Amino acid sequence: MAEKKRTLCLLSIFMCLLLLFQAMLTVRAEEKEDKRVLFISSYSYAWDTVQLQIEGIKAGLGDGVTLDYEFMDTKRVNDETAEKLFFEGLSYRLSKVAPYDVVILGDDAALIFAAKYQEELFAGIPLVFEGVNDEELAGELAKDPLITGVLEKLSVDKNIELGLRLNPDAKKVVAILDNSITGEVERKRFYKSAESYPELTFTEINASELTSTQLRRELKKVSDDSILIYVVMTEDASGKQYTNKESIRLISDNAAVPALRMVEGGIGEGLLGGNVVSMYKSGEIAANIAVSIAGGRDSGQINVMDSPNIYCVDQLVMNKFGLDMSLLPEGTQIINEQKNFFERNQEAMVPGAMLIIFLIIVILWVCIDNFRRRRLMKELEEARGIMESASQHDFLTGIPNRSKFMEDLETTIASGKPCTIMMIDIDDFKHINDNYGHTAGDDALRELAHRLKQMQSQILTPYRFAGDEFILLIRSEQKKIVEKTAYECRNLFSKSFVLAGTEMKVCGSIGISSYPRDAQDAEQLIINADDAMYEVKKSGKNNFAFYHAQNEK
């Protein structure tokens, strides 16, 4: 009996130890689970400062953190519809993934969006902003214990001081601005600095109120006694949108004085530089805060931090305008630094001369061999790219072809996402070919394709379907969006076409069908759109019709 009790006691102890060991393994597994961080940018990845922010965020997060991205793309489209679509898409995506530990917000628009939809999208999740210009807004929102971050404080005063160092005879300060969120915030800062420099005249070039031609003219008018500061230029009065690189090229090609810059993006591409906000450092600091919060620190105890500013100047621009490098503040980071070979290698010149000669011989031999290999690989890659592009694009018009359309449509339907197609047929196309020749017909196809391409967006893609038929894939079945697109398509024919050198009126009939309302598969969806289009043909042409409208007759 005593032996049996001892055996039961030992078994009980063994089971307890086993359970304890399993619990420890579970805890360790949970501890090792990656933290999850979401970065929401106000702009798109194509914006160069965003790329710098992301690189800084990656460096600050380090290993063991999963980083996802969302892009609002407000530089291209910034209206209620775009915000609604982004909200709906983000809301859906967030519903399909595990909650994030921290959300990092890049620039003002993302912070405003997150604050507006905090309860719906980010309830209980710490928000860390960076690159935010509106200091007052950031301070107000940071009263929420779940919100903190890094400001982007562009220093107008420090850049004016640098401009006066390089051009002591300056009498004017000219800022390049627009009416964007960033532009409005920085405009206030710019004119506030005028109080500190009563001897200088403060003016601006407002890109939002000038066409591209007027912009060039105004830039060329900036005189030698001016300090020119490029702040932001994303859109002109004609509606043309500019990437940062396009803005920089426009400024550097037309301004007769060096342009100072207050963020590091674009320095080295034609701008002088100045006292800049390091977007890389901003991202890195925001990521460090996120890691600290994810590790258990209370975000309410982390104060909003000032932006990391440095002096950064392009020596090529300094040389171009004959500016003295010795006038730059101590510690200035130099881009495109120009040093001769002796300056770079003067300590190693004598002992390393023989080694360099030997290396040159080896390198020349390797280069010759590698050159042949690279040339072959390049030719193969170019051939592959040409074949891939040709297989998915129409040769005459350059837009995606029927094969690409079918692939995209079937992918969209397979995902269960609602969509709409619009089939467009040029009216009396045979008459154009018969009376004006096939050259005129080709001109009509190319011109219509060009006009359709101008409508392309994140949710709309045009394709050439067959002959004189084109088709649009709209990744939505919302009535307002579809109707607006239909009217825009019909209006494509309001302006005359130039065919074989002659202006003439060209019309088109449009049939519309939506998934899943009108059909459950791609083939039937196309048939329905085609039927709707031919109803328009029979009813007088040059109009559009919805498939469901036919069924109601």
pLDDT tens digits for 416-455? Answer: 999 999 999 999 999 889 888 899 999 999 999 999 999 9
* Residue 24 counted as domain residue: no
Query: Do 56 and 146 share a domain, yes or no?
Result: yes
> In terms of domains, do 214 and 321 share one?
yes
Q: Per the domain annotation, does 444 fall within a domain?
A: yes
Higher pLDDT, 322 or 3: 322
Residue 215, domain member (yes or no): yes
CATH number of the domain where residue 192 is located: 3.40.50.2300
Residue 74 has pLDDT above 60, yes or no: yes
245 belongs to a structural domain = yes
**Domain stop point among 117, 151, 185:** 151
Q: What CATH number does residue 544 fall under? A: 3.30.70.270
3-state DSSP assignment of residue 205: strand
Task: Provide the number of structural domains found in the chain.
Answer: 4
Per-residue pLDDT at 23: 59
> Residues 126, 79: one domain?
yes
* Type of residue numbered 366: V
User: Does residue 114 lie in a domain region?
Assistant: yes
Q: Which percentage of the chain shows pLDDT scores above 90?
A: 57
Cα 311 to Cα 331: distance, rounded to the nearest angstrom: 7
Distance CA 202, CA 490 (A): 48
**Which of 518-531 are b and which e, b meaning 16 or more Cβ less than 10 Å from the residue's Cβ?**
bbeebeebbbbbbe
pLDDT exceeds cutoff 70 at 32:
no
Contacts of 26 (CB under 8 A, 6+ apart): none
Closest CA to 291 of 172, 419, 128, 146: 128
Say if residues 173 and 324 touch (Cβ distance below 8 Å): no
Name which of 19-23, 285-289, 499-503 the model is least confident about.
Answer: 19-23
Q: Where are the beta strands (DSSP E) in 147-268?
A: 147-151, 172-177, 201-206, 226-230, 259-261
* 550: confidence class by pLDDT, cuts 50, 70, 90: very low
In this structure, the answer to whether residues 145 and 206 fall within a common structural domain is: no
Q: What angle do CA 15, 17, 20 make, to 5 degrees?
A: 110
**Max CA pair span of the chain:** 113
**Alpha-carbon span 508 to 169, nearest angstrom:** 63
pLDDT tens for each residue of 305-361: 888 888 999 999 999 999 999 999 998 989 888 776 666 666 666 676 677 788 888
Inside any domain, residue 536: yes
CA distance 421 to 475: 9
Which tops the pLDDT comparison, 172 or 386?
A: 172
Residue with tokens 């040339």: 375
Q: Give me the amino acid identity at 443.
A: D
In whole angstroms, give the CA distance from residue 553 to residue 550: 5
DSSP helix/strand/coil, 40: strand
For residues 387-406, give the mean pLDDT: 87
Look at residue 385 in the predicted model and tell me its pLDDT.
65
How far apart, in whole angstroms, are the C-alpha atoms of residue 533 and residue 511? 4
Of the candidates 244, 222, 220, the one whose C-alpha atom is nearest the C-alpha of residue 233 is 244
Do 162 and 100 have their domain in common?
A: no
Sheet holding 201-206, edge to edge: 201-206, 172-177, 226-230, 259-261, 273-277, 309-314, 333-335
Q: Quick check: is 272 in a domain?
A: yes
Beta bridge partners of 70: 40
Position 30 scores a pLDDT of 47
57 and 90 assigned to the same domain: yes
pLDDT at 398 over 70: yes
Q: CA-CA distance, 505 to 499, in Å (whole number)?
A: 10
| Residue 522, amino acid | A
* CA dihedral over 545, 549, 551, 553, signed as positive or negative: negative
Q: Are 542 and 440 part of one and the same domain? A: yes
Q: Are strands 201-206 and 273-277 parallel, antiparallel or unpaired?
A: unpaired
Q: Which two tokens stand for residue 401?
A: 């072809």
Better-predicted residue by pLDDT, 105 or 352: 105
Calculate mean pLDDT across residues 98-107. 94
* Cα dihedral 91, 96, 101, 104 sign: negative
Q: Mark whether 384 and 406 lie in a shared domain.
A: no
Residues 418 and 493 in one domain: yes
Q: Average per-residue pLDDT in the chain?
A: 88
User: Do residues 190 and 202 lie in contact, with contact meaning Cβ atoms separated by under 8 Å?
Assistant: yes
Mean of pLDDT values over 19-28: 58
Other beta carbons within 10 angstroms of residue 201's beta carbon come to: 14
pLDDT value, residue 370 = 81
Distances (CA, A) of 62 to 68, 69, 79, 248, 476: 14, 16, 35, 33, 38
Indicate whether 11 pLDDT > 60. yes
User: What pLDDT digit, counting tens, does each position of 200-215 carry?
Assistant: 999 999 999 999 999 9
Residues 239 and 267 in one domain: yes
Residue 386 shares a structural domain with residue 328: no
Residue 552: per-residue pLDDT = 44
The torsion of the CA quartet 69, 75, 80, 86, rounded to 10 degrees, works out to: -10
What are 217-274's pLDDT values in tens digits?
A: 999 999 999 999 998 998 899 888 888 888 989 999 999 999 998 887 778 888 998 9
Taking alpha carbons only, the member of 403, 392, 423, 418 closest to residue 531 is 423
Give me the domain span that covers residue 489. Answer: 402-551
Q: Residue 548 pLDDT > 60, yes or no?
A: yes
Give me the pLDDT at residue 553, please: 41
Q: Quick check: helix, strand or coil at residue 424?
A: strand
Burial call 94-128: b when 16+ CB within 10 Å, e when fewer: beeeeebbbbbbbbbbbbbbbbebbeebbeebbbb
**85 or 551: which leads in pLDDT:** 85
Q: What does the block give as tokens for 64?
A: 């063991």
* Two tokens, residue 268: 């080295």
Residue 6: inside a domain, yes or no? no
Q: Is the pLDDT score of 29 beyond 50?
A: no
Q: Compute the distance between CA of residue 57 and CA of residue 290 in angstroms, rounded to an integer.
A: 10
Q: What percent of the chain has pLDDT over 70?
A: 90
**With 50 as the cut, is the pLDDT of residue 31 above it?**
no
Of 151, 177, 203, the last residue of a domain is 151
Pick the more confident residue, 94 or 350.
94
Please report the pLDDT score of residue 52 as a whole number. Answer: 87
108 and 196 co-located in one domain = no
